[in-house]
Structures are given as structure tokens and as C-alpha cells.
């Protein structure tokens, strides 16, 4: 599918069905989220590796976002502000040729203390998901999911 040259206006009469594309994206994002949750139910997050580059991603995340507290609720407004987007874009671009689908949209729990739910999740890019979930896993913040599933 081509939308035409950059900056060209989109003619809605000639556009493909973007509503179907949005639905397909939503299905993929929910599948990713529920698959990750199912993994956390079977294995402690503190023992899980999300990528082959977890160590590098974690160290980079700590350097670029030293004030980020993985135990707290993510401030979505701050994350998606002009400055926040720029910081994240710079962080993510390092992985452009290293992590598949590094900029693919996905769902992320806003707070590690809560289960999955519409009000508990936010839209994020795959590298944001990796950075934040790796940090949470390193601190054992997702281990409760495994422990709860074993009861």
C-alpha cells in the first residue's frame, strides 16, 4: 500500500480501509500483551530475558533515564510530551538495526503493581516496552504475577 509521496494529501475516496488496519494493529498489540502476561505467569520476570540485548538495553535506559522509577506509575503525559518524545526517539534509534520491530506499537502496563486492563495500559513503542519491562524484571517487580499464578 502506498500513501503517495511524503507531504501529499490523502484522498479518502482512494484510500484503503484504514479502519481494518487499525483493528489488525489492535489485535497484534493485544496478542503481544497477553503473550507476555502468559510468560510472566509461567516464569518469574526476574529470571526472564526479553531480548539478546537485555543487559545493554538496561544499562542504556539507566543512563538516558536516570530518574525513571520502575516501581511508580508511568506519567504518560510526560512520556508523550514534545521533550519526552524526543528523549525516547533518541533512545530508540540506537536499536533501529539491532531489534526487530523496535518502533512497533504495543501496550504497556502503566504500573507494575496492576494486572492487565484497559485503564491500566498505555500505548507505547516496542523499545519503550523492552526498556521499562526489563527494568521492572531486574527489580523483581513482575515476580508477583508468577507467584499469583502458582496459587
Which of 96, 105, 92 lies closest to 131, judged by CA?
92
Quick one: which H or E segment has residue 39?
helix 18-42
* CA atoms of 127 and 53, how far apart (whole Å): 11
pLDDT of residue 116: 80
Q: What is the mean pLDDT of residues 31-59?
A: 95
pLDDT of residue 30: 77
The phi, psi pair for 49, rounded to 5°, reads -110, 125
Terminal-to-terminal C-alpha distance of the chain? 48
Residue 6 predicted with pLDDT over 50: no
pLDDT band at 115 (very low <50, low <70, confident <90, very high): confident
Which of 144, 138, 135 lies closest to 47, judged by CA?
138
Tell me the Cα Rg of the chain: 17
Q: What is the mean pLDDT of residues 9-38?
A: 70
pLDDT band at 13 (very low <50, low <70, confident <90, very high): low
**Each residue's pLDDT tens digit, 46-100:** 999 999 999 999 999 999 999 999 999 999 999 999 999 999 999 999 999 999 9
pLDDT of residue 85: 95
Q: How far is CA 87 from CA 57, 61, 92, 114, 124, in A?
A: 15, 11, 9, 26, 14
**Each residue's pLDDT tens digit, 117-137:** 878 899 899 999 999 999 999
pLDDT of residue 22: 64
pLDDT of residue 32: 83
pLDDT band at 5 (very low <50, low <70, confident <90, very high): very low
Q: What does pTM read for this prediction? A: 0.83
Q: Which residue has the cell 516496542?
A: 126
Amino acid at each position: 500500500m502506498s500513501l503517495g509521496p511524503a507531504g501529499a494529501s490523502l484522498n479518502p475516496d482512494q484510500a484503503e480501509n484504514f479502519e481494518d488496519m487499525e483493528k489488525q494493529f489492535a489485535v497484534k498489540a493485544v496478542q503481544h500483551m497477553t503473550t507476555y502476561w502468559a510468560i510472566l505467569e509461567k516464569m518469574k520476570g526476574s529470571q526472564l530475558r526479553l531480548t539478546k540485548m537485555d543487559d545493554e538495553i538496561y544499562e542504556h535506559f539507566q543512563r538516558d533515564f536516570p530518574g525513571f522509577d520502575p516501581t511508580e506509575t508511568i506519567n504518560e503525559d510526560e512520556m508523550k510530551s514534545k521533550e519526552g518524545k524526543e528523549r525516547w526517539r533518541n533512545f530508540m534509534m540506537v536499536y533501529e538495526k539491532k531489534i526487530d520491530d523496535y518502533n512497533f506499537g504495543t501496550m504497556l502496563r502503566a504500573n507494575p503493581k496492576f494486572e492487565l486492563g484497559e485503564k491500566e495500559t498505555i500505548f507505547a513503542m516496542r523499545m519503550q516496552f523492552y526498556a521499562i519491562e526489563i527494568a521492572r524484571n531486574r527489580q523483581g517487580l513482575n515476580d508477583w504475577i508468577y507467584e499469583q499464578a502458582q496459587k
